[in-house]
Amino acid sequence: MINPYRFGTEGPAGGLWVQVHDNIYGGSDGSVYSSAINDAGNRIIVSARDGDNGPDINSGYVKAYSNVGSEWLQVGQTLYGEAEYNYFGGNVNINNSGDTFITSAYLASSNTGGQYSGKVYVYKLINGTWSPVGQTIGGIQGGLDKLGSATAINADGTRIAIGNWNYTSTGGQRAGIVRIFKLVNDAWVLMQTIDGPNTDDQFGFSISFNSAGTEIAIGATGNPTVVDLADSEPLEHEGYVDIYENTSGDVWQNNKYPRLFPSPRDGWQRFGSIVRLSGDGTRLLVHANDASVAYTEIYEDVGKTGEWVKLLREPVLNSSNYGTANLSTDGSSFIQGQSIEPYGVARVFSETTETWEQIGQTVYGTQPGDQWGSVAAINGDGSVFVAGGPQHDEEPQDGVSEGIVQVWRKEAGEPPVTQAPVITIIEITFREYYQDAGVEIAVDEFGTDITADVTVTGAEEVERRDQRANNPRTFQYEFNFRLPGVYTIRYTVRDAYGRYSNAYRTVTVVDDVPPTLALLGEEVVSIGQGSTYIEAGVTFDNWPLDVPHLQSGFYAYDYTQFIIPPEN
């Protein structure tokens, strides 16, 4: 029996995550935004929605990679958006075998919906080339319809679903809409349109099929019907999840499962930001992605009775960062990613005999601030996952964030004893323009020198990084602290298992030079009794911000003398 509401264990268990081959980077023409992985874990789809195609800025592009030998090789051609600012690749999903995927360009203009109505595309790998499947599906409502802000594809690639959370439907403005299609004679035929029932429901924000494509979970993040605990008033963006079944022919109904709402609590929740059905439809992942209450829940209906039982409620590590989540096809595991500082994280949870536990070590991003964990997907049995960070900057000097994707595989064994790497800092002497001496050495628990992996952050960092002549693996960093105060320089290093250490140096900038004042006008001034005197003031010169203080009637600094004549 599974223990309800059981959190994952603090420590890793049940295996070790090992990276599969090298990193995959975006390019100078666009950063990684979304990714998907097939059931076997040997093919991934990577998109860069802000990618450029020559002069077409932000047209977007999508690439596919296969695990071949000892590397990830691109399979098929790079696919580009049709025009600038299409944001092609804003959403990608792959079928079970990995030979078919669906993607969207939600700001593309279409013949059916007009400007910014959006488009959705399906591609199949045929003889090494990605070929269109059926027709391109256009939006049906112009003006930021955002067709394809959510997409889904079933196991064999013959059914697709498209969500438009911003759509004004019969339910009202931003009620949202979901359209479901089937493939007939190489054409996508509309089965049913499902409208969001209420204004601002944002119905279709997230969608997911079971493997057969006969059930679909639909998340609506904007629903305001749940009562807030604090004041008994409805709150916006609480959210809900509906399950629809293909009961006969092209008919979809939601009369089996009651609507799922989040537990009442203070604050927005956006319950249904992410929904994922297992392949057999017996398990459902729901992620609530609001900053104050982000969490992932797992529900189960073993006998398909129409009643969901909550198995797990796993909070994100730091609810001030939203995160993502994804469920394996067999429903046994899920991944939770979150772009916290200094490094984002990816964690996998799996079901054990009596509970759910974190499996393997937490995998951290490679660079502070790269938003690692905001991209995350898991394969069919939970043994392989893909994760990435769109803001990773592999070549800092070019000023472009290429983004990064990594694939990790679960292997037998346990991570080594939890011991963070050790950093040794060189002592320094303060100078006004301060060049930090850097890190002498950073080693992991096995004594391996990982100094080259050290990153540094601090106030007012100058765009300059010089290798020291006597140690090419140690760097010096120059800082310009222009104001008095206390500044902290942070060095960070991460080992192969994702554990990291920080070392800090405190630099105190002291203003120890008194102000230099010069009178404007004469030192001695004579005026007649009863006359009005206007003080000329002073000039001052000192680094950086010494300013005379003014008080009523005279200056605080004693640089003038008032002569009071005796009374008659």
Confidence category of residue 522, pLDDT binned at 50, 70, 90? confident
Q: Mean pLDDT, to the nearest integer, of 32-55?
A: 89
Q: How many Å apart are CA 53 and CA 184, to the nearest integer? A: 33
Compute the average pLDDT of residues 279-285.
Answer: 96
Predicted pLDDT of residue 384: 96
Average pLDDT over residues 555-568: 38
Lowest mean per-residue pLDDT among 44-58, 185-199, 540-554 = 540-554
Best-predicted range by mean pLDDT among 121-130, 309-318, 491-500, 531-540? 121-130
pLDDT of residue 300: 94
Global pTM exceeds 0.95: no
The answer to whether residue 425 scores a pLDDT higher than 70 is no
Q: Please tell me the distance from the alpha carbon of residue 107 to that of residue 57, in angstroms, as a whole number.
A: 13
**pLDDT value, residue 233:** 52
| 146 pLDDT more than 50 | yes
Lowest mean pLDDT among 7-16, 81-90, 120-129, 450-459: 7-16
How much is the pLDDT for 477? 53
CB atoms within 10 A of CB 544: 9
Name the more confident of 56 and 565: 56
Question: Can you name the residues that pair with 61 across neighbouring β-strands?
Answer: 48, 80
Tokens linked to 92: 């990608």
Sign, CA torsion 237/241/246/252: negative
Average pLDDT over residues 251-258: 93
Confidence of residue 561 (pLDDT cuts 50, 70, 90): very low
Mean pLDDT of the chain: 79
Q: pLDDT-derived band of residue 387, with 50, 70 and 90 as boundaries?
A: very high
Angstrom distance (rounded) from CA 436 to CA 459: 12
Residues 133-146, mean pLDDT to the nearest whole number = 80
Least confident of 18-32, 67-81, 97-111, 430-444: 430-444
Q: Indicate the range of 7-21, 83-97, 303-317 predicted with least confidence.
A: 7-21
3-state SS of 428-463 is CCCCCEEEECCEEEEECCCCCECHHHCEEECCCEEE
How far is the C-alpha of 353 from the C-alpha of 162, rounded, in Å? 37
Average pLDDT over residues 22-33: 77
How large is the average pLDDT for residues 164-171? 86
- Residue 285 is predicted with a pLDDT of 96
Percent of all residues in the chain with a pLDDT value above 70, rounded to a whole number: 74
Confidence of residue 381 (pLDDT cuts 50, 70, 90): very high
The pLDDT of residue 290 is above 70? yes
Residue 409 pLDDT > 70, yes or no?
A: yes
pLDDT of residue 8 exceeding 50: no
pLDDT, residue 501, reads: 80
Alpha-carbon distances of 154 from 101, 214, 277, 413, 423, rounded to whole Å: 10, 9, 11, 34, 49
Residue 158: CB partners within 8 Å, gap ≥ 6? 182, 183, 213
Between 516 and 416, the higher pLDDT residue: 516
- Of the listed ranges 330-344, 387-401, 475-489, the least confidently predicted one is 475-489
Average pLDDT score over residue span 264-292: 85
Q: Find the mean pLDDT for residues 68-92.
A: 91
Predicted local distance difference test score (pLDDT) of residue 511: 66
Exposed, middle or buried, 459 (CB in 10 Å: 0-12/13-18/19+)? middle
Looking at residue 185, its pLDDT comes to 97
- Say if strands 34-37 and 43-48 run parallel, antiparallel, or are unpaired: antiparallel
Residue 370: predicted pLDDT? 82
Task: Give the 3-state secondary structure of residue 546.
Answer: coil
Q: Kindly state the average pLDDT of the residues 292-313.
A: 88
**Amino acid sitting at position 344:** G
pLDDT at 264 over 50: yes
Amino acid at position 81, single letter: G
Per-residue pLDDT tens over the stretch 223-242: 765 444 444 455 555 889 99
pLDDT at residue 434 tops 70: no
